[in-house]
């Protein structure tokens, strides 16, 4: 039933309630009929507004173009439980538009969100290369106040360290290379050399002084063949 037909039905209800009200003699019955009239009147006002907005959209091409303008959703948060990966998208007033305007599509390694005609715009987001496969048939969306919750059903209960493979690769790239068989002191020495090479004159003097004092202590303490106190970092 379209809006025009709904308005016609509500107007007929309003007229019939008025007719019954004229015939009613009992005060209680009259009050009940008046309350129903008010309810119908409010529904009529809402439907008439809807019809006016629809007429404006149909007659104003610019309004349609505004609704077709699409912006990208960049901000989101995610969490997980044993069975689901949960993605939280904050969009003001998203709960006020028809749920059909919120489309979420899943594959085993991705999902996409399209929110149509919210605040005169479309809002879109696509996440590709999920870290692990998801069960697309049992994944779904939830609409909450000012929020969309995307529920990706895990295929296994394995814990996810990241949301996507790209994030995982980025994290691994940033990790320092560690040689398990390397002498820990070699790493410290290399770090000191790097600081010495890149430092200014004051930094070099400070490091040389600390190095010389360290070597002198080794000699006094019987450390022996560690080398003389005259060495500096530049010679190493």
Cβ neighbour number for residue 72 with a 10 Å cutoff: 8
pTM of this prediction exceeds 0.95: no
Domain boundary among 174, 191, 215: 174
119 and 78 co-located in one domain: yes
Domain boundary among 156, 174, 192: 174
Domain boundary among 159, 174, 189: 174
- Region class of 194: left (phi > 0), else alpha (psi between -120 and 50), else beta: alpha
pLDDT above 90 as % of the chain: 36
Give the structural domain span for 156: 70-174
Whether the CB-CB separation of 126 and 56 falls below 8 Å is answered with no
Torsion of CA 43, 91, 162, 174, to 10 degrees: 170
Domain count, the chain: 2
Please state the three-class secondary structure of the chain as a single string: CCHHHHHHHHHHHHHHHHHHHHHCCCHHHHHHHHHHHHHHHHHHHHHHHHHHHHHHHHHCHHHHHHHHCEEECCCCEEEECCCEEEEEEECCCHHHCCHHHEEEEEECCEEEEEEEEECCEEEEEEECCECCCEEEEEEEEEEECCEEEEEEEECCCCCCCCCEHHHHHHHHHHCCCCCCCCCHHHHHHHHHHHHHHHCCHHHHHHHHHHHHHHHHHHHHCCCCCCCCCCCCHHHC
The string of pLDDT tens digits covering residues 117-164 is 898 899 999 999 999 999 999 999 999 999 999 999 999 999 999 999
pLDDT score of 102 more than 90: yes
Whether the CB-CB separation of 154 and 85 falls below 8 Å is answered with yes
- Is 90 inside a domain boundary? yes
At 227 the pLDDT is 45
At 76 the pLDDT is 92
166 and 99 co-located in one domain: yes
Distance CA 187, CA 123 (A): 50
pLDDT score of 188 more than 70: no
107 and 12 co-located in one domain: no
pLDDT score of 109 more than 70: yes
- Is 211 inside a domain boundary? no
The string of pLDDT tens digits covering residues 81-97 is 999 999 999 999 999 99
154 and 128 co-located in one domain: yes
């Amino acid at each position: 039933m379209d809006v025009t037909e709904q308005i016609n039905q509500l107007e007929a209800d309003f007229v019939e309630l008025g007719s019954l009200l004229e015939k009613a003699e009992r005060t209680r019955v009259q009050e009940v009929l008046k309350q129903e009239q008010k309810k119908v009147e409010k529904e009529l006002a809402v439907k008439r507004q809807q019809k006016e907005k629809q007429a404006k959209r149909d007659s104003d091409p610019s309004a349609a173009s505004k609704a077709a303008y699409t912006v990208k959703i960049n901000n989101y948060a995610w969490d997980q439980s044993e069975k689901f990966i949960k993605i939280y998208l904050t969009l003001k007033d998203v709960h006020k538009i028809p749920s059909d305007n919120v489309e979420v599509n899943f594959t085993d390694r991705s999902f996409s969100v399209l929110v149509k005609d919210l605040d005169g715009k479309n809002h879109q987001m696509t996440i590709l290369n999920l870290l692990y496969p998801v069960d697309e048939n049992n994944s779904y969306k939830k609409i909450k106040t000012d929020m969309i919750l995307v529920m990706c059903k895990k295929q296994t209960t394995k814990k996810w360290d990241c949301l996507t493979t790209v994030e995982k690769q980025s994290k691994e790239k940033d990790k320092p290379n560690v040689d398990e068989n390397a002498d820990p002191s070699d790493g410290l020495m290399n770090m000191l050399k790097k600081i010495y090479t890149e430092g200014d004159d004051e930094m070099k003097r400070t490091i040389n002084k600390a190095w010389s004092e360290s070597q002198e202590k080794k000699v006094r303490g019987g450390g022996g063949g560690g080398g003389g106190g005259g060495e500096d970092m530049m010679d190493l």
